[in-house]
Structure formats: structure tokens, C-alpha cells
Amino acid sequence: MAALALLLGSAGSVVPAAAGADAGPGAPGYPGEAADWSPGDKDGFGTAIGALDSKVWYTLNDGVLSEVYAPRIDTPGSRDTEFVVTDGATFTERESEATEHRVELVDARALVYRQVNTATSGRYRITKTYTTDPARSAVLVDVRFESLDGRPYQVHVLHDVGLGLNANDDTGRSAGGGLLATDGRQSSAVLVPGGFTRTSSGYLGRSDGWTDLNSDHVLDDLYAAAADPGNVVQTGQTALTGVGDAQHLTLALGFGTTEDEAAATAGAALAGGFDAALAGYRDGWHRYLDGLAPVPASAQRWRTEYEVSAMVIAASEDKTFRGGFVASPGKPWAWANELQHFPVYHEVWSRDLYQHATALIAMGDTAAAERALDHLWTIQQRSDGSFPQNARLDGEAVFGGLQLDEVAFPIVLSHQLGRTGPADWAHVRLSADFLVATGPRTEQERWENLAGYSPATIAAEIAGLVTAADIARANGDQARSDTYLATADQWQRDLGRYTVTTNGPLSPDPYYLRITDNGDADTGVEIQIADGGPRVDQRRVLDPSFLDAVRLGVVDAADPAVATTLALIDDELGYDTANGRFWHRSSFDGYGEKADGSQWESVEPGTRETIGRGWPLLTGERGEYELAAGVDAQERLDTMARSADDSSFFLAEQVWDDQPPSAPGSAFVPGEPTFSATPLSWSHAGFIRLARAIDAGRPIDTPELVACRYGTSLCRQ
């Protein structure tokens, strides 16, 4: 019997249904309203760890199931899935809009999240607990719908399909009491035990189920959207009423290449049961955490934040392209709409992958760090030794920039892992040769929107060349080793001329700049700050990123220019909150929400319409510097932990500054997460690494060779 001809009876048995039966006539309004995407500040995220046959990741946002990624973590399999409640006569409302949302981490040692949505009217409560099936590519949702006033209601599933990067090319139909969709490359199925009692597939804003229900409170326009690809939204009426025995069901979202395969996957997940899947899912995470190094003493107070950080990093790895870790499972702000066919944050950056890998080493998962390096060498590295600015998991470049720190960091990681043999040397040689031929000026620094001479980037290049020289020597290439060292030494000597101004307007003492366009820090060349920023004298632009030069062993922590710059940065970029101290990433930064708290979007230069806020990862980097300087950094770790979301324990890309859109006590609280990318794996990696560094009493990823070559305080020889 074909998979489409099977559905689950209410007792869990498999019963036949009419295979391929459509809900009704073709849906009007093709192709529907253009797709956008769910916000990128997630409050739930999970996947079955170590379960390579379960190629699916779920995310949560504002009370609903937001993007599900399948079969790769850089590829959406849906936009969102939520419930619509009606009494069939007087009201119809979406849980995303009509309820107060609460999120709970069900198990502190597993990425199991629960959403509790209570209607603002007091009529009902929806409780949803999420897991992915460790045995297959399916998300299972345990749903409890309670009527709080004793009245029966009708409950519908509203599923915005959104397969792949283009959510405007899907078809959808009903079969066997389930909802099936495809874009011709991947497919999805939404099933419940016993099947939906009514189903419809239509086009967003034209013929979808919400449009129908909102008009007359009854799902009676039953369509199929099987002929013309568009922005398809599917609706299924459940047997839930909220009273008596009709308060509970399990929802399954299954994925596959074909509709048949997706339906079989969802059906098998339902047959296996939510409880069994959840037990296997939790056991997998418990085993994973048990296999890591013990939680550092510095993080004992923050054990949940630490273990969630470890799990977020581990969950960000793809299960097909092993070692490929994405930056964040979502698209923040208007990136979602302006570049809706691009993965944006759910892709691989060489720099972020270095951050992930150093955290993986710190937390005791060296095998995953090894896979990350393998991914960098075999998938990301180009034939000339360079790396794309960012890329999909298969290596396809997304944005077109070139950042030389992303060329250098894989070399440093290779040395840290002891990967110095002939196979790795072949890759190291390509990248080191590229640095010698191309550096030290970079097309983009680590904030990705300025070209020139960046202290952070040059420090990475120097560290890359010094470690490459050691690998070259071990492989019998003394000539290259000499060239790498001579180049690194020259750049280290010139770092001050490139990036330290002696006549800048901010201090009579020398201080580091974010970047110089011309490699002469004493000239007042004007640079254009991105994201609506001004055109300004380069000597007025500060950035805490220069501290990478200390962490990587290139500059001593006690260098006078370092101290001067830190004082300036504290004055111009730092701010205090109830959670602790944070720093903006740069002078005049506009990469963040607008003044009223609305989303970031691309704006014209000089408008200053958007405002960058503080980055928790900079607090972590400040802590690593303080350890290098012999100062206790526990408060920096505590600050990062306090900035985590109180429900999900996720660390965001940014937190509100001391001039939030509205008064303290509102939704915009200084030191609490903004609507930026959440969770950001780089932030979590910084937390892990700082915790381990505090216990060690020094930064833990400093290349010893570099620190000793330049005689900095981090040299232990």
C-alpha cells in the first residue's frame, strides 16, 4: 500500500485512506502574496544529537514553531506552523497574535523546549513540547489544548510551507487526511493521528485557510494548490475541542525528497510515538554532555547557560556535510525580506567556524573540531587558498567578499589540533601563500563592511603565517618557512604604522583604530561607515576587535597603546547595565534596530537611522584580554551569563544599550537581548572559551609560537 494511503487511527493503528484525494478544486489567487521569513531571534532550537538519519532542526519564535530546517541546516523546510482557534461563529484568532507566550527549557541537559500560550481573552491555553525523532527526519509536537471557560472550540493547524530558500515555488495538496507539499526537490508532510477532519491548501493572502477562517469562522473553502507553484499555506482542522477527551494530540512534520517519502517519514514518527522519540532525544543529549570535559569551576553558577552553550554549538553542525557549523539558525531583521533567497546567517563563515572549533576543543569535543577543520579544507577552501566570505554547506559562496582573517584562522586551527602532516600541509601551504601574496590589506575586516588595514585581521594573518612556518619546517620546506616568518615579522613591525595613530583627535597618546584605508594611521583619510553611518576621519573610529592582537600573541597586554585604546573604548563604546558592562562593536555603528526598536534594514549612508547595540561576545573577548593582563575576568563571564535569555538560555548577537527605544521595565531592557540573531554560536563559543580560560588563568587558544616569537606575556617558555 502506498505511503500516501496510510494514516494513523486515534489509537495509533494504521488504517487505509483514499490515496491522493485532494481537498477540493484548484486554489485561486496564484501565486499569493510574496513570502517573507520568520524573525531570527529564536527562543527554542533543537535537533537529535548524533542521529545522522534525523536530518531535521526545529526553531521556535514568539509562541510558534518557526523555521524547520531539512535536510540540511542551511535549508529551510518550512516557514512556520501554528494553531488557529475559533468558536465557529464569533471569533477566529491565531495563537501567535492572541496569546501570551511563555517558553520553558524542559530538560536543562537537552534542547527540549516547551511553549505555553494562554489566550489574552482567557478562553484557552495551548501547551506544545517539541522534539525531533532520532530515527528519521521528523519533528514531533506534543500538543495539549485546554478550554479555560469550559466551552468547546475548533482548532486548526496553519502550516506555512516555505520549502527551500525560495518559498514562492511550492505546491500543496491533501491526501490520506494529511497535508503534503513539494517544491520538486524536497517535500513535507503534516500529519496527526486519525487525520485532519478538513484540509485545504491555498495561496498566502488569497486562498489560504487563515483568510477563509478569518472571514466567516469556518474552514469551508477547501482547495488544493497542486497545479501552480506559489507561496502555499496549508490548513488542517483537528479533532481538538479543549474539553473532555479532545484535549491532546501529537503533530508530526516529516520531510523527504518526494511527498510519498515525507508522508512515510511523518507516519513512522507518529507510529513510534512522541514519548519514545523524546526519550531517545534526551538520552542522546545526556550522553553527549556526559562525554565532555566537566563544567569549569568558573561556570558552576551558570551550569545551565554553559551546557546550553555547548549544545547550541553542537546542534549547529550539519548532518550531511559534517563539520559544517552555521552561525545561527535564522535570519534576523530585514535580511529575511531583502535577501529572502539567501541563507544569510544559516551558513558557514570560516571565522565563525574557528570560534566554534576553539570552543569545541575547550569543552572536550575535539573530534567535532577535527571535523570542522576537515570541512574548511575540503569544502570551503578554494584552489588559490582563499576562503569565501561565507558559503552554503556545499561550499557555494553566498556573499562575494574576501576577509583575510578567514584565510588565516584555519591555519591557526590546524596547528592547534596538531594537524601538521603532509595532507594538512598541502592546504596550509595554499592559504599561507595566498596571505603572503595578498596581505596585509584586507578587502573586508571581521565586521564585513570596510576594506583596509585592520589590527584584528593583521594579527590573524601574522598568527597564521607563524604557525604555517612551523608546519612548513616540519614538512621540509624551509624556504617557505623563512618567507612566512619574514613576512609575519615585517607586518608585526608595521602594525603600529598601519593601525596606531599618534596624532588622532581622541587622545594625545597613541591608540589603535578600527581600520585604516591607506595603511597610514596618522593621516585623516575619510572612510564611509556602513549601515547608515557617516563619512568620517579614520582616526575617529574605534573598535574593540584590536584585542585579538593580544589574544593571538602578536602584541603584549601591557603595551601602552593597548591601555590608551581601552580607556577610549570604555568611554566611547562601553555602557553599564544591570547585567554588567557591554561594548558597541565600533564607533558610529548602525548594524542594529532603529531608534524606535523596529527592525534593521539597509539604509542610505549618513542617515543614522539604525543603531548598533552591544555585543556579548565582546564582553567575552574583554575577559580574555584581562586574563592576559593578569586581571580576574569572572565578572565578564557572569555578565555574559546574565545577558542570556531567561527562558531559552540563548546568547544573542546584541543586547540593548543604555539608550533603549523605551524606558527600563519595558520590552527593551538594557543588557537584555535585542531582536538580533539568537542564538549566535559565536557568542556561545566565547562564553565556553572564557569559562575554560578563567580556570586556566590565561587565554586558551593563544598560539604559543606566536606569543614567544614576539615576546608577549602569553609566552610560557
By C-alpha distance, which of 32, 432, 12, 61 is closest to 208?
32
Cα–Cα distance between 95 and 77 in angstroms, integer? 21
Cα–Cα distance between 390 and 681 in angstroms, integer? 15
- 387's grid cell: 576562503
429 phi, psi to nearest 5 deg: -60, -45
CA dihedral 505, 462, 309, 53 (to 10 degrees): 140
- 212's grid cell: 477563509
The pLDDT value given to residue 14: 31
How many residues does this entry show for the chain? Answer: 717
Burial 321-358 (b: 16+ CB within 10 A, else e): bbbbbbbbbbbbbbbbeebbebbbbbbbbbbbbbbbbb
The pLDDT value given to residue 22: 52
Cα–Cα distance between 129 and 54 in angstroms, integer? 18
The pLDDT value given to residue 38: 84
The pLDDT value given to residue 343: 82
- 609's grid cell: 537611522
The pLDDT value given to residue 552: 98
CA distances from 609 to 182, 526, 650, 652 (A): 40, 21, 28, 22
Return the amino acid letter for 121.
S
Contacts of 651 (CB under 8 A, 6+ apart): 305, 309, 616, 640, 643, 644, 645, 673, 678, 679, 680, 683, 684, 687
- Terminal CA-to-CA distance of the chain, rounded, Å? 71
* Low-confidence residues in the chain, pLDDT < 70: 1-23, 336-340, 663-665
By C-alpha distance, which of 644, 666, 646 is closest to 655?
644
The number of beta carbons lying within 10 Å of the beta carbon of residue 91 is 14
Cα–Cα distance between 670 and 657 in angstroms, integer? 5
470 phi, psi to nearest 5 deg: -65, -40
- 404-416 and 422-438 helices cross at what angle (nearest 10)? 150
Please work out, in degrees rounded to the nearest 5, the angle formed at the alpha carbon of residue 695 by the alpha carbons of 49 and 644. 55
- 339's grid cell: 535577501
Which of 33, 104, 261, 448 is an active site residue? 448
The pLDDT value given to residue 397: 95
The pLDDT value given to residue 24: 80
H, E, C per residue of 86-120: ECCCCCEEEHHHHEEEEEEEEECCCCEEEEEEEEC
The number of beta carbons lying within 10 Å of the beta carbon of residue 153 is 20
Cα–Cα distance between 47 and 597 in angstroms, integer? 31
Q: 317: part of which helix (H) or strand (E)?
A: none
pLDDT, one tens digit per residue, over 554-597 is: 999 999 999 999 999 999 999 999 999 999 999 999 999 999 99
Which of 95, 307, 445, 461 is an active site residue? 445
The pLDDT value given to residue 340: 62
445 is catalytic: yes
pTM of the full structure: 0.96
pLDDT, one tens digit per residue, over 674-710 is: 999 999 999 999 999 999 999 999 999 999 999 999 9
By C-alpha distance, which of 536, 542, 538 is closest to 568?
542
95 is catalytic: no
Burial 213-245 (b: 16+ CB within 10 A, else e): beeebebebbbbbbeebbbbbbbbbbbbbbeee
| DSSP structure class, residue 380 | I
CA distances from 565 to 499, 557, 631 (A): 12, 12, 17
Contact 20, 219 (CB under 8 A): no
For the chain, helix, strand, coil in percent to 5 are 35, 20, 45
Contact 83, 116 (CB under 8 A): no
Q: How far is CA 301 from the centre of its chain?
A: 25
The pLDDT value given to residue 401: 96
Sort 459 into a burial class: Cβ within 10 Å, 0-12 / 13-18 / 19+: buried
